[in-house]
Amino acid sequence: MDLHYLEYIVEIANMHSLSRAAENLYITQSTLSQYLSKLEAELGMHLFERRRNEMTLTVAGRAYVAACEDILQRRKELYQQLSAMAQEHTGSFSVGITQQ
């Protein structure tokens, strides 16, 4: 499941900065800025208020980030469940045969 784009928005919100978020995500600031611009154009509204040295969430941005965090948390829980299932189904067993 590729949810990197949701992680991008959450990281921008946490860092209050495109450059710091890009650095933490190991992508270029330009790539992150382009993604954010495309997303905001698709939504028809800004998710962040851009100030000189800081980005803050708009009302729409807070709702969007909350949904992103919820989805990412659900993914984490799902992966944990699947991992637990995989561990339950691994192991070994022995078969014994007697001679007559």
Inside any domain, residue 72: yes
Inside any domain, residue 99: no
Reduced to 3 states (helix: H, G, I; strand: E, B; else coil), residue 87 is helix
Half-sphere exposure of 60 (CA within 13 A, CB side): 9
Inside any domain, residue 65: yes
* Res 91: pLDDT: 59
User: Per-residue pLDDT tens for 7-29?
Assistant: 999 999 999 999 999 999 999 99
pTM, entire model: 0.81
**How many degrees, rounded to 5, is the angle at CA 73 between CA 49 and CA 71?**
60
Task: Give yes or no for a contact between 32 and 21, defined as CB atoms under 8 angstroms apart.
Answer: yes
Inside any domain, residue 98: no
Inside any domain, residue 57: yes
User: What is the tally of structural domains in the chain?
Assistant: 1
Inside any domain, residue 8: yes
Q: How many residues does the chain have?
A: 100
User: Per-residue pLDDT tens for 41-93?
Assistant: 999 999 999 998 899 999 999 999 999 999 999 999 999 999 888 887 665 66
CATH for 37: 1.10.10.10
Inside any domain, residue 100: no
Inside any domain, residue 96: no
* Res 84: pLDDT: 87
Structural domain harbouring 38: 4-88
